[in-house]
Amino acid sequence: MKEQILKEFKQQFGDGGDIRCYFAPGRVNMIGEHTDYNGGHVFPCALTIGTYAAARKRKDRLLRFYSMNFEKLGVLNSSLDELKPDDAAGWTNYPKGVMWAFEEKGMNIPNGMDILLFGNIPNGSGLSSSASVEVVTGAILRDLFGFDVSNQDLALIGQFSENKFNGVNCGIMDQFAIAMGKAGHAIFLDTANLSFEYAPISLDGAKIVISCSNKKRGLGDSKYNERRSECETALAELKEKLSINSLGELTEEEFEANKNLIKDETRIRRARHAVTENQRTIQAVAALKANDLALFGKLMNASHVSLRDDYEVTGIELDTLVEEAWKIDGVIGSRMTGAGFGGCTVSIVKDEAVDTFIRQVGEAYEKKIGYKADFYVVEIGNGPEKL
């Protein structure tokens, strides 16, 4: 891949100078959905698919961007003196947002750059192509200009840029999973205080299969911010009696005993999901440590039901993928992953059932939805690296 992006870089921007190459992964969340902004736990892992980049410093303030995924757009020009969100800038708002965030944090970027990107994460799939672009941009800036920032800093800067520059009120999970990825492990992260541990994922005789619905969704214009606000209101209502800072602090029993404080049935359901999903995530990691993959799978299934019924973020596409997966022998667990309203599901499938899974789920999905789903058998990989 390095040769490919170098060749394309030289074609678009010319030869010469110190051209460097980088990679940042995508991520999939195994369990713990819509808990990250509710002070709960998440359990994501980095993937071996992600975003490749080639970059070179310039002597002026010009920024030139090219994406091999959006070839028709050609080279997009900007400047370090124009770091503000711009609808016309399209995908370049993500790397520009990170540059803006570095400067906001007191790290002055002295020179412009030529940057080429290529992602092999399906676009709009919910595997965090945007966070992958943010982290790879941070890795470029750190390396080219010698900024003293850790991988965890890259995650926080990426989230800051997405919140403040791109106006998407995302939690920390995506950037953290990508920046802190470790091969063969998922990250058990407490989003309330960023304490975390690596938990080995031992899928002896099974694979992780991502099913991409190919229903496009935009995070900013989806109901993501609405769900977040419903949870914030529910928390404020619970705080009238309880001294808590987040829904993630409650056990299921505490929630059930106090849910009547929440004045609206919909908000009760939203908060119930945040509380029960956090507990499921804690139980799921314990199950993995005990080598109980069957229990982990059951918790994945229960997570999807909660996201469908209480949080209402699944939709017919994701429900079809999951419900068809549940019918197949050899599927240990299956659930939607990511923000929802389209995007992907994640399933743990026994090796001998993978081909059947892809064929049967694919056929049933196309028959019901009218277009094809895509399937990816994925490996768990490391965080960002210089190639």
**Closest among 107, 194, 93, 105 to 142, alpha carbons compared:** 107
Q: What is the 3-state secondary structure (H, E, C) of 247-303?
A: HHHCCHHHHHHHHHHCCCHHHHHHHHHHHHHHHHHHHHHHHHHCCCHHHHHHHHHHH
Please say whether the beta carbons of 187 and 43 come within 8 A.
Answer: yes
Contact 200, 185 (CB under 8 A): yes
Distances in Å between the Cα of 288 and the Cα atoms of 33, 74, 251, 274, 317 are: 18, 46, 21, 21, 29
Q: Within a 10 A sphere around the Cβ of 56, how many other Cβ atoms?
A: 22
* Tokens found for residue 230: 């419903």
Dist. CA 55–CA 32, nearest whole Å = 35
Q: Distance between CA 50 and CA 343 in Å, rounded?
A: 16
Type of residue found at 281: T
- Residues assigned a catalytic role: 174
